[in-house]
A and B are shown apart, each in its own frame.
Chain A
Amino acid sequence: MILEILTIGLIISACLALFLDDAVYSVAALAATFLFTALIYALDGAVFAAIFQFAVGVGTLTILFLSGELLSERAVKKTSSSKAFGLIGAGVVLSLPALFLSISGATSAGVSINFGDALWSLNGMDVILQGLVILTVALGIVIVLYERRNSGK
């Protein structure tokens, strides 16, 4: 029962995050999405992933709250209550397939191959991913420094 409520909450908050007009409310709805996702992870038995998701989400949202006003136009009109209720209704309708349909037969066939072994027998995958992280950060720093140098001219 709790998982079903969290599922509905996750989809409703995702819809609100995308389609609310005000940037602050939109980021707050994204915060709710992160929170619901972390709770679903925890209830599914992946507590470590839940804590990490929560920590990463808090960091991302802090930056988003700080830069949200800069990135968005001042809302010309506030989101009407009818639109907000419509979004909530759309979220409930969109969560119905996840609640009542099931394709677990197909997924369990995939799991029987031993998903973990398939991933972790590939030596160096973690090293490749860490390299990707470092490369991404380096690329970002290069772009920011290039922009700063050009604006200084």
Chain B
Amino acid sequence: MDFVILSLVVLGIGIYGLLTNRNLLKVFISIELIAIAATLNFVTLTSSAGVGLGQAYLVLAFSTDTAVSAVILGLLVIVSRRYGTGDISQILKVVGKEEGEDEEQ
């Protein structure tokens, strides 16, 4: 049982999802999985070293991750409300049409 390999596998799943999914929600979930992989590595390394303060460092990492997640979620909600869809390819199409109309005017 090796936690470093476990975190590598979770990181791989997250990166694969980030590259292949076109849905904004799935992209967010992929980012969460990547964050989980990073923090899992932190926890296992610090706990195997027997350093209690390492967990305090983790709290800061979690806080940063949560703040970033909140901002990302806010942006995703704004984008999906503005364009009416959560699909990245459709959003890009709408953005392209809007830019074309602006150039015509």
Q: Using a CB–CB distance below 8 Å, which chain A residues touch chain B?
A: 3-4, 7, 10-11, 14-15, 17-19, 23, 26-27, 30, 33-34, 37, 40-41, 44-46, 48-49, 52-53, 56, 59-60, 63-64, 67-68, 70-73, 94-95, 97-99, 101-104, 107-108, 110-111, 114-116, 119-120, 125-126, 129-130, 132-133, 136-137, 139-140, 143-144, 147
Closest to B16 in A: A18
Q: Are A11 and B10 closer than 8 Å at their CB atoms?
A: yes
Alpha-carbon distance between A134 and B61 when the two chains are bound, in angstroms: 13
Q: Are B51 and A115 closer than 8 Å at their CB atoms?
A: yes
Alpha-carbon distance between A108 and B50 when the two chains are bound, in angstroms: 12
Interface residues of B in 34-51 (CB under 8 A from A): 36, 39-40, 43-49, 51
Interface residues on B, range: 35 or more
Closest to B41 in A: A107
Q: A14-B13, A14-B33, A52-B59 are in contact. Are A103 and B2 (CB under 8 A)?
A: yes
Q: Are B53 and A120 closer than 8 Å at their CB atoms?
A: yes
Q: Are B43 and A41 closer than 8 Å at their CB atoms?
A: yes
Alpha-carbon distance between A15 and B16 when the two chains are bound, in angstroms: 10
A-contact bits for B32-76, CB 8 A (1 contact / 0 none): 110010011001111111010111111111111111111101111
- Out of A37, A71, A111, A115, which one reaches B86, CB within 8 Å? A71
Q: Are A98 and B46 closer than 8 Å at their CB atoms?
A: no
Interface of A: prevailing SS: helix
A-contact bits for B1-33, CB 8 A (1 contact / 0 none): 111111001100110110001011110111011
CB distance from B78 to the nearest CB of A (A): 5
Q: Are A18 and B29 closer than 8 Å at their CB atoms?
A: yes
Closest to A55 in B: B62
Given A111-B48, A129-B61: 8 more A-B contacts, CB < 8 Å: A41-B43, A64-B25, A68-B25, A71-B80, A97-B5, A129-B64, A130-B63, A136-B71
